[in-house]
Structure 1
């Protein structure tokens, strides 16, 4: 497989996963002079002569790019580690990165339960004492206070996720299933899978539902469970964020 500069790989990867539209990729291939010098004459000719307008063009292009240029697993590992190391830097990008972790959690990366569903969702939907529905609606002082409340635990959780990926406990494939969820292999032990953010406070073995309370100080001040969890034979689903004790009591009555 031909090794390309990382920024070229990024363009190919974003096209594969739809961040870059087919029309944009086509225009880039025609206009970018660097790609012409990096690829062989035959490879470049193949891309500029490709029929981007025909039916099934996206499917054929994805196959072409993944067969010849992109190792999806290698690229996805690089992408995730980049995000994690950027989060570890604790700079102005951190809130957006935490929200990306929540998005990635929702798209199949369940190993980001703590980083995404814990910290990311708390940024996405601030605690009720901030009297705001979104991150953008709270003040700069409140933003600093909210992010600051995550430490030092957040740093430890970021480092833990980095270790999983670097040590091969989480093996990313870079592929998605039929509903667009990212696929990966999880080789962590039961102890390594234990959450540092969530503590189970009640469960029902018959139904598979449990309620978990956040260990984050800023959420504990609200004195409420923050996620309801359903075990589907190894797969999980969560109802999260604004779950209340009263709702949990009503839900629990359905078991009996």
Structure 2
């Protein structure tokens, strides 16, 4: 499936889009029917998007159509590029990277800041004050973890070269929820 369509469907299922935004997109996306097929498309447009349970229904409809492998590879490499060039605010960068790690991409845990994010006293987040500038926050991180950006770039290269293969497969665990799988060579 088209990566842009996959992204919007995935964003809706993961609550990054409101029902109103999603409904507007569904009815304006000209390629959606050809991407989903007539049966799934009809099922999708038949939903009442004001019903809060429709996200679950949308997930059931599109789950096997979304190419999570390409979507996640694309999103993760773009995120790493933005973090390394400091295009995103410090706290947002760390939170987004942690969320990817938490969704199953544990290769990110090689970066201590992410791997120890939830352990009190070990995360550099505890050293950060709200009054600091972004540059001051990044400086604290680099002082504590000097290889942060190098390790991120190394991970990005491994993803791009296929040495970390994002499979697009996932499993549901009772404790962790939806966990995506990968293969690291």
Q: TM-score over 0.5 for the alignment? A: yes
Which residue in the other structure is 1:146 paired with?
140
> Following the alignment from structure 1 to structure 2, what is the Cα–Cα distance between the partners of residues 160 and 94?
20
**Equivalents in 2 of 1:100, 1:54: separation in Å?**
29
- CA 87–49 in structure 1, closer or farther in 2 if over 3 Å, else same: same
SS of the aligned residue for 2:63 comes to helix
Larger C-alpha radius of gyration, 1 or 2? 1
Q: Tell me which residue corresponds to 1:125.
A: 126
Q: Which residue in 2 is equivalent to 1:105?
A: 101
Alignment length (residue pairs): 172
Tell me the TM-score normalized by structure 1: 0.53
Q: Per-residue deviation at 1:64?
A: 2.1
Question: Higher relative contact order by CA 8 Å / sep ≥ 6: 1 or 2?
Answer: 2
**1:148: how far off?**
4.5
Shift of residue 101, structure 1, vs aligned partner: 1.8
Distance 1:139 1:20, change over 3 A: same
1:164 Cα offset (Å):
2.2
Q: Distance in 2 between matches of 1:45 and 1:177?
A: 28
Name the TM-score, length of structure 2 as normaliser: 0.69
Higher relative strand content: 1
Question: Relative to structure 1, is the Cα distance of residues 20 and 123 closer, same or farther in structure 2, using a 3 angstrom cutoff?
Answer: farther
Deviation string 1:128-182 (CA, Å, 9 cap, x unpaired) is xxxxxxx452422742531452675222101111122122232224434233242
Aligned residue number for residue 86 of structure 1: 82
CA RMSD of aligned residues (A): 3.5
Evaluate the alpha carbon distance shift between residue 90 and residue 53 of structure 1 in structure 2; reply closer, same or farther with a 3 A threshold.
Answer: closer
Is the Cα contact below 8 Å between 2:90 and 2:137 reproduced in 1? no
- Seen in structure 2, the aligned counterparts of structure 1 residues 11 and 136 have a Cα distance that, compared at 3 Å, is farther
Match of 1:137 in 2: 130
Name the structure with the higher helix share: 2
The correspondence of residues 42-191 of structure 1 with structure 2, limited to 5 A, is: 42=38, 45-52=42-49, 57-68=54-65, 70-115=66-111, 116-117=114-115, 122-126=123-127, 135-140=128-133, 142-149=136-143, 153-174=147-168, 175-178=170-173, 179-188=176-185
1:79-121: CA deviation from partner (whole Å, max 9, x where unpaired): 1111111122134534421232223333432211133126897
Instruction: Find 2:13's aligned residue among 13, 16, 35.
Output: 16
